[in-house]
Chain A
Amino acid sequence: MSAVVFARHAMTPAERLRDAGWVAFVGLILGVPLIGLTTVDVGGRLGVETRFGLLAAFVAAAFAGRLALRWGIDHMRNRKLAREQASTTTAAQRAHGAQRLVNIVGWVALGASIALPIVYSDNRYVVDTATTVLIYVMLGWGLNVVVGLAGLLDLGYVAFYAVGAYSYALLSTQYGWGFWEALPVSGALAASFGILLGYPILRLRGDYLAIVTLGFGEIIRVILVNWTEFSGGPNGISSIPRPSFFGLEFTRRPAEGEQTFAGFFGLDFSAMHRLIFLYYLILVLALLTHVFVSRLRKLPVGRAWEALREDEIACQAMGMNTTNIKLSAFAIGAMLGGFAGVFFAARQGFISPESFTFTESAIILAIVVLGGMGSQMGVVLAATLLVLIPEFGRNFSEYRMLLFGAAMVLIMVWKPGGLLSHREPTVRLQATGAAASDKEGAR
């Protein structure tokens, strides 16, 4: 159901041309001040430069693009209609089929992600990018609890990511904590932050909550920038220790009385070992997150989150303490964000407030919403798309964020429910043996 379409009847060629002409005209008006004209520095003063050729190309592209888009939409709609008329399956069956397909794709993706570093064991770029995807998958799964399941719009999720990252950075550089000791503590800290921030604001309505969380995210960032003694200010914290493989460091030469990973296993030293280890580490963290969240979803607390998203007043009428339910969603989401932050700090070895801007929150939110709220596989799909699309456009990297913004708008307009909007029930009556036969009887 595309909302770009307004006319119900098939358009005549003349109408199509007029429609495209109108779009080109609007494009012209919008294009004149930003594309047709620009100001450039001429000897210390600004001078105007005209780019009418570029403007003409833009208008022509708008015209052609609109024609093609209209044609494409009409074509797709007709095909969809034809398919719907031809198909004999019910919506429920189709949904069930789709769910099975998603499950299969999920297992294939899991297999592929395990095999990836083996296949690309000497390709630093692929392993690095895949690690980035997995960080976003994990963040997406964490935020999915808050936004997708509990329906609380959080625009400041990056704050918890920052809390996790800075906790590990400070604990390790100041107090010499290791990755594995710091991980649970940092997660707990992030969760406490979630509760602390969440408690006063969780009774706010949807959009207000969004803005206040955005405000909190920015406050934390501004504090990190300005409180130099604590956080290193804009310079951040560097030389954060990397995680070791059960005490084996990924270094060329062992420290006093220690062994290196390569030495222990009798391998030649390679910088890839650490990258691959980090990749598997985030894969394990992400998978644990997935199992954790999927199980929670089928528990009372998870159902309560979804019920809360659907109707808060009905929840209260069922005797549910909505404040506690919201807090639990906020805290668990924050904790998972904190874990991801710890990993991020350990992987980068360096963090600064630059990494925790609002844009980061927007990207994570986009992953959740584009994926399809509440859908775990949707998060994987969206995270992969959103990390990879800009990577493919690396040659013209200045267009990355432009494409990103445009993709957010277009995917929302095309599929407001997200890419995978099918919801799988947490419990079925048929599964419980005796009831299933009753059901057949009733039919």
Chain B
Amino acid sequence: MSAHDKGTLLSVRKLTMRFGGLTAIDDLSLEVPAGKITGIIGPNGAGKTTLFNCLTGFYKPTTGTLRLAHPVRGELRLEKLPSHRVARDAQVVRTFQNIRLFPKMTVLENLIVAQHNVLQRASKFSIAGIFKLPGYRQAERAAIERAAMWLERLKLTHLADDPAGALPYGIQRRIEIARALCVDPVLLCLDEPAAGLNPRESAELNELLLYLCGELDIAILLIEHDMSVVMNVSDHIGVISYGRKIAEGTPEQVRNDPEVIKAYLGEDEDEAEEAIARKIAAEGSNEEGQPA
């Protein structure tokens, strides 16, 4: 958690997304500060993933603006960019709730593909690549080194040459994060990165997120149900319910917000109990918090 304020990186203004008669996001406004971790929580179906899809160009918002203060390119309007330009030009990179790796390709290849634009430029319409010119070979070596660095950092080096699709779930989640990091993100959007992870893996994830944000100055937007992750790493949390923002603030503020408790309790009893149990677990008692 970085100490000083670096201003706003992304500002979501009056965002609305409708599908036919269904309003998935309703007049949502949100600020994502630079170099910090912002958590997004809310019951299932609240519109969290839809928000990500709007951010990353997969959906065109019905109304509203998404302004990104890019450190180099200045202000970019994300809602006007197609999805590949959101990743390439705005450097807003995401992971997916249901992991989307390139399953038959190896872990290393997955990470190299993520550096496609850099390498493609170096290959000069593939001509430099076909003839294996030194400039291209250097770029390729750099790409492999970069991938190797992230593999090392995420403890994946020994799996580098295995097909990604054959690996266990928790590892696939790590690969997806490593792959996103290879795109060199300014803003990293993680969609439930802790889903399906065991407690140890979750703890490692926390550590990684803090490292990315603290050391590398990457802003992170995090959708997560696992309160032990969200509450521990987020600098700032937005709570969404039925497509609206119902609360915003530090983890402490959000935890005690009556609206939030109501949203979780009122929505679905099991879900709410689970959420509360997780919160209790997160708040200090070291025993496993079993849902009552």
Contacts and interface: CB of A to CB of B under 8 A. Distances in A.
Do A and B touch (CB < 8 Å)? yes
Contacts of B85: 319
Contact of A426 (B101, B109, B151, B180): B109
A429 B87 contact: no
Given A301-B126, A307-B105, A317-B96, A425 B161 contact: yes
A299 B120 CA distance: 8
A313 interface: yes
A321 B84 contact: yes
A295 B86 CA distance: 30
A429 B146 CA distance: 12
Contacts of B86: 319
A371 to B, nearest CB: 16
A321 B179 CA distance: 17
A315 B83 CA distance: 10
B183 interface: yes
Contact of A425 (B94, B106, B114, B183): B106
Nearest to B148: A435
Contacts of A439: 157-158, 160
B188 to A, nearest CB: 12
B14 interface: no
B213 interface: no
B183 A319 contact: yes
B108 interface: yes
Contacts of A30: none
A303 B113 contact: yes
Candidate in B101, B113, B148 with the most chain A CB atoms within 10 angstroms: B113
Contacts of A303: 105, 109, 112-113, 116
Interface in B109-149: 109, 112-114, 116-117, 119-120, 123, 126, 129-130, 140-141, 144, 148
Interface in B19-57: 56-57
A317 B100 contact: yes
B59 interface: no
State which size class the interface on B falls in. 35 or more
B69 to A, nearest CB: 19
A319 B100 contact: no
B130 A299 contact: yes
A223 interface: no
A438 B119 contact: no
Contact of B157 (A315, A320, A442): A442
Nearest to A308: B102
Nearest to B161: A428
B123 A299 contact: yes
Interface string B85-104: 11111000110100011111
B130 A304 contact: no
A318 B113 contact: yes
B242 interface: no
Contacts of B106: 425, 427-428
B152 interface: yes
A318 B179 contact: yes
Nearest to A325: B116
A443 interface: yes
Nearest to A321: B84
Interface string B59-101: 0000000000000000000000011111111000110100011
B104 A310 contact: yes
Interface string B186-204: 0000000000000000000
Contact of A429 (B96, B148, B179, B180): B148
Contact of B102 (A306, A432, A435, A438): A306
A322 interface: yes
Given A299-B126, A435-B157, A320 B144 contact: no
A300 interface: yes
Contacts of B56: 317
A315 B113 CA distance: 8
Interface string B152-178: 100001101111000000000000000
Interface string A431-443: 0100100110011
Interface string A272-313: 000000000000000000001001100111011011001101
Contacts of B94: 317
Given A300-B126, A435-B144, 20 more contacts: A292-B130, A295-B130, A296-B126, A299-B129, A304-B120, A307-B102, A314-B101, A314-B102, A315-B113, A316-B82, A316-B87, A318-B87, A319-B89, A425-B161, A427-B106, A427-B140, A429-B108, A432-B148, A435-B160, A442-B157
Interface of A: 92, 292, 295-296, 299-301, 303-304, 306-307, 310-311, 313-322, 423, 425-430, 432, 435, 438-439, 442-443
16 contacts: A299-B129, A300-B129, A303-B116, A310-B104, A310-B105, A311-B101, A316-B83, A317-B87, A318-B93, A319-B84, A319-B85, A320-B84, A423-B163, A428-B106, A429-B161, A439-B160
